[in-house]
């Protein structure tokens, strides 16, 4: 990763972390257990890729981080919720994530399930309240809520997850793996960057270009994850290696092999950057992030 | 239940059922399993109490059912999601609901969990899209989204659920059982009727009165459920009787006994109706519904 991308990511990540601290409730009353569990996964060392993409999507059309922070944070809450639910015994049954015991290992299945539900709903509270408390284009905000809810739901993450499960152990199929990845991971990543552009007042052409960028980057991101699951270093990624294969997961390497998967990944990054053709240097962070996403080690 | 209340409920329920059919996606692609599971619980014979309260809350200030239907449906989606997650083995581990096998018994735990997630997110899609596609006061709509998300989250349902679990098998405590019931069930019921009044353009005083009504009715509703769990007829309520006691659940009867619980319930209904003092005959359905809620048999 270039020094410039590193600095950009780090600065935006700090903004996001501070805002998340501010938005998150303190554990105090009878709901303390679930609030602690929500905190646990939210502050377990995430890279804040989705919030940073949301900010970069705003900045690319002249917007600011401040103007999208509540939505950026909502995206991280939704991402955290999805990790907690994915790790549950009923789904992936993972004991470790980012080198720490998963939520249900610490808080039990019941509280973990509810912590996921709590993070998901809090995301919508944050976004709606933003529109009530600050001067925001309410039409744009409703469009963003619709976009994000759809990307998280059966048309996005939930749909990808269920296909992922149904195809465990079955013969790998190119169209299925594309469906799984674009839905399970791609949809929320695409929604993240697009939400930033919409909120920052980007025009329709800009919104469409950024959305295309997001779709390519989102798919490349999940392919990179598949590859890390095979080639990665356990200490760096913080969970077991080879888990996908053990479970018979449908992944890009399982369908296309490692070499072809890397080619597809590189092509997706090229196409993502191409989608930004008409943007000026304010889109440079987005270009850097696209390259970073396939070079990261965790 | 009086013939009048019965007619009112039935007519509104038909509107809601039709709208739900329209809003729900057809199972078609790779997400078919989860969509079928979402349908299963959503159309498993619910009474549509929350949507009907939302409509009645609108009508009490001169609004119409049509003007709040997408939000009324969103409330039922959220209610259905909460039933699916509550029934999961990690939480209440219930095999039957409304006389049918619970969602995870039919679709498996993984799909049931995701079906809940899918219903919850679809609720927010419905609400946001309503504001984009129809002429709606966007400020009011954002307020409603905030209200409903908060009622579903750690400040409401999720908070009540986690307290419910933490206090299983412990000594019954009056303040704890009130917390559990007002959060687990009361919050979403109060939000339902209040959302209708907000969307229909009720003034602040009306909104506050309706909210008070909703809080009393919401608590009375859950106490009625507790009592049905002891005195109810298995064939009518469609699940086992006495389950709360077996699990050592903190309920009103376990804390106060049956007789006192019924007194509290009656007093709550009186106070709910009192909160409607300044409303004219357009609030009559709300008055009837308050009485119905503690007299129902399932």
DSSP 8-state code for residue A279: -
Instruction: Assign B240 a pLDDT band (cuts: 50, 70, 90).
Output: low
**Closest CB to A128 among B25, B145, B152:** B145
Residues A126-161, buried b or exposed e (16+ Cβ, 10 A)?
bbbbbbeeeebebebbbbbbbbbbbbbbbbbbbbbb
Which chain A residues touch B177 with a CB distance below 8 Å?
A: none
The CA radius of gyration of chain B, in Å to the nearest whole number, is 18
Measured CA angle at A229 (ends A225, A231), to 5 deg? 105
Report phi then psi at B135, rounded to 5.
Answer: -80, 100
pLDDT at B236 over 70: no
Q: Please give the Cα distance from B51 to B16 (Å, whole number).
A: 7
The shares of helix, strand and coil residues in chain A, as percent rounded to the nearest 5, are: 75, 0, 25
Residue B100 parent element (H or E): strand B100-101
User: Which pTM value belongs to this model?
Assistant: 0.96
Q: DSSP labels for A72-135?
A: HHHHHHHHHHHHHHHHSTTTT--SEETTEE-HHHHH-HHHHHHHHHHHHHHHHHHHHHHHHHS-
Mean of pLDDT values over B193-204: 98
pLDDT at B237 over 60: no
Q: Where are the alpha helices (DSSP H) in B171-203?
A: 174-181, 187-199
Domains of chain A, earliest start first: 3-295 (1.10.600.10)
> Tens digit of pLDDT for each residue in B21-52?
999 999 877 899 999 999 999 999 999 999 99
Mean of pLDDT values over B83-98: 95
Instruction: Assign B246 a pLDDT band (cuts: 50, 70, 90).
Output: confident
Neighbours of A35 (CB within 10 A): 22
Tell which B residues from 111 to 140 touch A, by Cβ distance under 8 Å.
Answer: 111-114, 116-118, 120-122, 124-125, 127-129, 131-132, 138-139
Q: Please give the Cα distance from A236 to A239 (Å, whole number).
A: 8
Question: With contact defined as beta carbons under 8 Å apart, do A125 and B150 qualify?
Answer: yes
For residue A235, the model assigns a pLDDT of 60
The CA radius of gyration of chain A, in Å to the nearest whole number, is 18
Instruction: Specify the 3-state DSSP secondary structure of B101.
Output: strand
Instruction: Provide CB contacts within 8 A for B235, sequence distance 6+.
Output: B99
Q: Please give the Cα distance from A136 to A122 (Å, whole number).
A: 19
Instruction: Specify the 3-state DSSP secondary structure of A64.
Output: coil
Which chain B residues touch A129 with a CB distance below 8 Å?
A: 146
More confident residue, A298 or B102: B102
The chain B residue lying nearest A24, using CA atoms, is B154
For residue B61, the model assigns a pLDDT of 98
The conformational region for residue A31 under phi > 0 = left, psi -120 to 50 = alpha, else beta, is alpha
Locus of tokens 């039409």: A139
For residue B241, the model assigns a pLDDT of 66
Q: Counting beta carbons within 10 angstroms of the beta carbon of residue A179, is it exposed (0 to 12), middle (13 to 18) or buried (19 or more)?
A: buried
For residue A40, the model assigns a pLDDT of 98
Instruction: Provide CB contacts within 8 A for A35, sequence distance 6+.
Output: A24, A25, A26, A27, A28, A118, B154
Q: Taking chain A (298 residues) in consecutive chunks of 10 residues, what is each chunk's mean pLDDT?
A: 85 97 89 96 95 98 97 98 97 92 98 98 98 94 98 97 90 90 97 98 98 98 92 65 78 93 96 97 96 80
Q: Please give the Cα distance from A128 to A5 (Å, whole number).
A: 31
Report phi then psi at A61, rounded to 5.
Answer: -115, 25
Closest among A211, A206, A205 to A182, alpha carbons compared? A211
Q: Strands A100-101 and A96-97, how do they pair?
A: antiparallel
User: What percent of chain B is modeled with pLDDT above 70?
Assistant: 96
For the CA atoms of A154, A156, A159, A163, the dihedral, rounded to the nearest 10 degrees, stands at 170
> From the candidates A80, A82, A121, which should be mutated to test the interface with B, based on the most B CB atoms within 10 A?
A121
Nearest CA distance, B285 vs chain A (angstrom): 30
Question: With contact defined as beta carbons under 8 Å apart, do A207 and A94 qualify?
Answer: no
Instruction: Establish if B152 touches chain A: CB-CB under 8 angstroms.
Output: yes
Q: Please give the Cα distance from B151 to B28 (Å, whole number).
A: 32
- The answer to whether the Cβ–Cβ distance between B154 and A118 falls below 8 Å is yes
Tell which A residues from 11 to 40 touch B, by Cβ distance under 8 Å.
Answer: 25, 29-31, 33-35, 38
> What's the whole-number average pLDDT of chain B?
93
For residue B248, the model assigns a pLDDT of 81
For residue B298, the model assigns a pLDDT of 63
């Amino acid at each position: 990763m270039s020094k410039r991308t590193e600095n950009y990511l780090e600065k935006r990540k700090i903004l996001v972390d501070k805002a998340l601290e501010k938005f998150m409730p303190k554990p105090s009353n009878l709901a303390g257990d679930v609030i602690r569990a929500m905190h646990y996964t939210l502050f377990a060392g995430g890279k804040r890729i989705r919030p940073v993409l949301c900010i970069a999507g705003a900045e690319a059309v002249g917007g600011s981080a401040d103007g999208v922070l509540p939505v950026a944070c909502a995206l991280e809450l939704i991402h955290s919720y999805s990790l907690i639910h994915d790790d549950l015994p009923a789904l992936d049954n993972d004991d470790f994530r980012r080198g720490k015991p998963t939520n249900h290992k610490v808080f039990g299945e019941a509280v973990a399930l509810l912590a996921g539900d709590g993070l998901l709903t809090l995301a919508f509270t944050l976004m709606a309240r933003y529109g009530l408390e600050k001067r925001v284009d309410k039409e744009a905000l409703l469009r963003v809520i619709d976009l994000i809810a759809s990307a998280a739901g059966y048309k996005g993450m939930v749909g990808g997850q269920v296909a992922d499960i149904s195809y465990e152990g079955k013969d790998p199929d190119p169209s299925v793996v594309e469906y799984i990845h674009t839905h399970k991971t791609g949809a929320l990543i695409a929604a993240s960057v697009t939400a930033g552009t919409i909120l920052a007042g980007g025009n329709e052409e800009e919104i469409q270009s950024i959305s295309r960028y997001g779709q390519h980057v989102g798919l490349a991101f999940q392919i990179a994850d598949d590859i890390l699951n095979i080639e990665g270093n356990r200490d760096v990624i913080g969970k077991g290696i080879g888990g996908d294969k053990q479970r018979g997961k449908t992944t890009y390497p399982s369908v296309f092999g490692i070499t072809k998967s890397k080619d597809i990944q590189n092509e997706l990054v090229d196409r993502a950057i191409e989608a930004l053709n008409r943007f000026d240097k304010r889109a440079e962070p987005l270009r850097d992030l696209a390259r970073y996403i396939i070079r990261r080690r965790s």
